[in-house]
Amino acid sequence: MAVSPELVFSVLMGLLLLVVAGWLTRLEDWQAYTPVGGGGYGESTGHGHEEKPAGLTRWLTTVDHKDLGILYSLFGIVAFAWGGITAMLMRVELTTPGMDFLASFGGVGLYNALLTTHGITMLFLFAAPLIFGFANYMVPLLVDADDMAFPRINAIAFWILPFATILMWAGFFLPLVGIDIQAAKTSWTLYTPLSSTMQGTGVDVFLLGFHLSGFSTTMGAINFIATIVAERDSVSVPWSKLDIFSWTILTQGGLILFAFPILTAAVTMLLLDRNFGTMFFAGEGGGAMLWQHLFWFFGHPEVYILVLPPMGLVSLILPKFAGRKLFGFKFVVYSTLAIGILSFGVWAHHMFTTGMNPRLTASFMAISLAIGIPSAVKVFNWITTLWNGKLRMTAPMLFSVGFVQNFIIGGVTGVFLAAVPFDLVMQDTYYVVGHFHFIVFGAIGFALFAAMYYWFPIMTGRMYDRRLALWHFWLSIIGGNITFIAMLILGYGGMPRRYATYLPQFMTWHAVATVGAFIMTFGVVAFIWNIWQSAQYGKRVDSGDPWNLKQSDQFTNEWQWYEGKRQTMLADGGEEDADDAESNAAD
């Protein structure tokens, strides 16, 4: 008798529930619950309670914002590796015009799947979670809160992500074990009618994962807003003293709150169209344009959801190594808010070539050009902060300066694209690809690297390897500019985006872009090796102020917290000392 899949899954689920029940029974005693009320935990251990269990259980059960910050960051780095591998597979294929490197692995279909997962992974699984990682760790410290406003929701938001990611990546691995679920090949914009009519459960599985990741982001955003508004210590951190990173996270939270429900609704409609016979995006219904409007109404604010916090990071880090306060702090905050508001009025600039009413295109062009003004205000403020400063070219500073350079190129090419006549020519070419890669990797990625190096001492108690960090920076800035400038040139030449094969005339610049991508990859390898090694064996930080911030009167809250923690550890003869003794003995 053949065993039905229903029976197999029923047994497997039964086993899973038994394992969960067994683990919970070992860990928890429901009878012993003493209600502690909603909201944040205190640090108090007045009842003889410790904060966290040890080992793997700690990481599976933590609701501590710092632990979750580390988990988010690790998750972001893993996603970055996947996004990078997929990019390199595409770049190697694009070195020559024909289909050769990927031909025996799946050909054009695999290329399309790689393109889809690369875009989604880098935006939703690398950039956003890494931002949330730093925000989780630092925002409560910066605003003098005990923890996030809703620590358990914080943990739920994190744990949805890896499970959702498994669904989003499953299509690449399931065929290897004989299950016929193929990866989605819809491109990250999921344009209908392609995405609504493409056959295969793989697309649905991917969409479900994407849908769930939206829940996670929205839960996280609500938590950040509540933390900054309600958990902030209004005496030590009044609104007037709120740091720039928290301002950008607050603005980002607002954008997520308005943008992500639109995405969730649109993806739900798409799933219903694909599986339950609705016709939201069919020709007889709202049509393909409805998807584009919904997607980009979410999608353009998403750009600012991803770029505003990195702008906040750079605004926070640059002054520390320029030896002077951020120039025009208030205007940087105002420009953040202005960008946040304007970001909802620019979505149709992604659709200039769809045959929209010209009066509409003109208004969207005007707002898209206008958003360049607050962006330029920020650039002006960063440059004037550096002007006549006492610059210390540490790794975080180098990445911050690199951010400004890349953002200027990415921003100016974006201003060009906002102009309808230019966009009509450049739409769907590599010029657009070059433009947004300058922003997503050149700006967002660089700011996140800067933050990683800047806060590395707080997060690990150790210092990164400076030499490797410098290699990381120079390889990234050189490789990045080679690749993305080559893409801009390809776009000027008329090379269309999304294609796995191309005309031989584009080969030279594609080869240049691939060389640049390899240079970047070496930089990223240096980064990952550095983080991994230094977190375990790096030189221990010997003061609460490893960046000499007290000198320029910029010893901000998170570093004060860190100094306090070190002093408590020293007084208690805490963990760090014990580790030191061990490592000294080993030496």
Partner 1 sequence: MEEQPGLSEQYTRASPWPVFVALGLVLTEFGVFLGNYLLPVGVGGVLLLETSVVGILRESGYVDSLWPASLGVGLLVGGVGVALLTVGRFNRGVALAGAGGIAVLAAVGFFCYERGYL
CB 112 → partner 1: shortest distance, Å?
A: 23
Contacting residues for 337 by C-beta, under 8 A, at least 6 apart: 251
Cα separations in angstroms, 495 against 4, 119, 417, 424: 50, 19, 16, 14
CB 63 → partner 1: shortest distance, Å?
A: 5
DSSP assignment string, 473-498: HHHHHHHHHHHHHHHHHHHHHTPBTT
And the tokens for 527?
Answer: 């980064």
Distance CA 269, CA 369 (A): 32
CB 220 → partner 1: shortest distance, Å?
A: 12
| 50 vs 542 by CB, closer to partner 1 | 50
| 33 vs 586 by CB, closer to partner 1 | 33
Chain centroid, CA 268 distance in Å: 23
| 31 vs 357 by CB, closer to partner 1 | 31
| 16 vs 581 by CB, closer to partner 1 | 16
Contacting residues for 545 by C-beta, under 8 A, at least 6 apart: 555, 559, 563
Phi/psi of residue 496, nearest 5 degrees = -75, 150
| 151 vs 299 by CB, closer to partner 1 | 151
| Burial degree of 13 (CB within 10 A; 0-12, 13-18, 19+) | exposed
Distance CA 519, CA 43 (A): 46
And the tokens for 339?
Answer: 């960008």
Could you list the residues that contact partner 1 (CB under 8 A)? 4-6, 9-10, 12-14, 16-17, 20, 23-24, 27-38, 41-45, 49-53, 57-58, 60-64, 67, 147, 151-153, 155-156, 158-160, 163-164, 167, 201, 204-205, 208, 211-212, 215, 271, 275
CB 68 → partner 1: shortest distance, Å?
A: 9
CB 105 → partner 1: shortest distance, Å?
A: 27
Distance CA 244, CA 336 (A): 9
| 51 vs 582 by CB, closer to partner 1 | 51
Q: What is the dihedral of CA 491, 495, 496, 498, to 10 degrees?
A: -100
CB 49 → partner 1: shortest distance, Å?
A: 5
* Matching residue, tokens 């420009």: 335
| 26 vs 330 by CB, closer to partner 1 | 26
Nearest Cα to Cα of residue 350 among 336, 334, 367: 367
Cα separations in angstroms, 586 against 132, 433, 557, 576, 579: 37, 51, 35, 15, 10
| 279 vs 419 by CB, closer to partner 1 | 279
Nearest Cα to Cα of residue 348 among 244, 423, 406: 423
| Burial degree of 80 (CB within 10 A; 0-12, 13-18, 19+) | buried
| 195 vs 336 by CB, closer to partner 1 | 195
| 55 vs 358 by CB, closer to partner 1 | 55
CB 278 → partner 1: shortest distance, Å?
A: 12
Number of neighbouring beta carbons within 10 Å of residue 10: 11
As a whole number of angstroms, the longest Cα–Cα distance in the chain is 82
CB 157 → partner 1: shortest distance, Å?
A: 8
CB 13 → partner 1: shortest distance, Å?
A: 3
Phi/psi of residue 429, nearest 5 degrees = -110, 175
Number of neighbouring beta carbons within 10 Å of residue 235: 7
CB 212 → partner 1: shortest distance, Å?
A: 6
| 209 vs 516 by CB, closer to partner 1 | 209
CB 273 → partner 1: shortest distance, Å?
A: 13
Distance CA 340, CA 107 (A): 41
